């Protein structure tokens, strides 16, 4: 199982709304992530910076599923006004961070 991370931003003034939307995450969005093969998904916030961490056995499968999933598209549209998201045009997925260190 491989692990991945990304960094995005909450727009200023939307910190509480971001948290509220994730506290009330749609059940079908959770199911979408599970079907995509994403596990152990965590998002941390420092100021306006969001740090996401997740694990998956097949990143390409996860990306492909999310790219074509209408639930994920609706979630992205709903979150767009409160977030700054940079998407890699070659993958249609947020830029992933290169691993710098791993400790077992």
Question: Which is catalytic among the residues 22, 46, 65, 102?
Answer: 22
Residue 64 CA to residue 93 CA, distance in Å, equals 9
Work out the burial of residue 71: count CB atoms within 10 Å of its CB; fewer than 13 is exposed, 13-18 middle, 19 or more buried: middle
Is 65 considered catalytic here? no
Tracing tokens 């961490």 back to the chain, one arrives at: 53
Which residues are the active-site residues? 22
């Amino acid at each position: 199982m491989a692990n991945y991370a990304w960094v995005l931003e909450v727009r200023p003034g939307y910190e509480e709304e971001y948290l509220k939307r994730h506290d009330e995450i749609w059940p079908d969005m959770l199911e979408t992530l599970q079907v995509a093969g994403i596990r152990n998904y965590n998002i941390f916030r420092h100021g306006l910076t969001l740090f996401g961490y997740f694990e998956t056995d097949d990143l390409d499968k996860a990306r492909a599923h999310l790219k074509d999933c209408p639930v994920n598209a609706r979630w992205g549209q709903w979150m767009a006004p409160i977030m700054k998201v940079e998407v890699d045009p070659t993958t249609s997925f947020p830029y992933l961070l290169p691993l710098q260190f791993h400790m077992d």
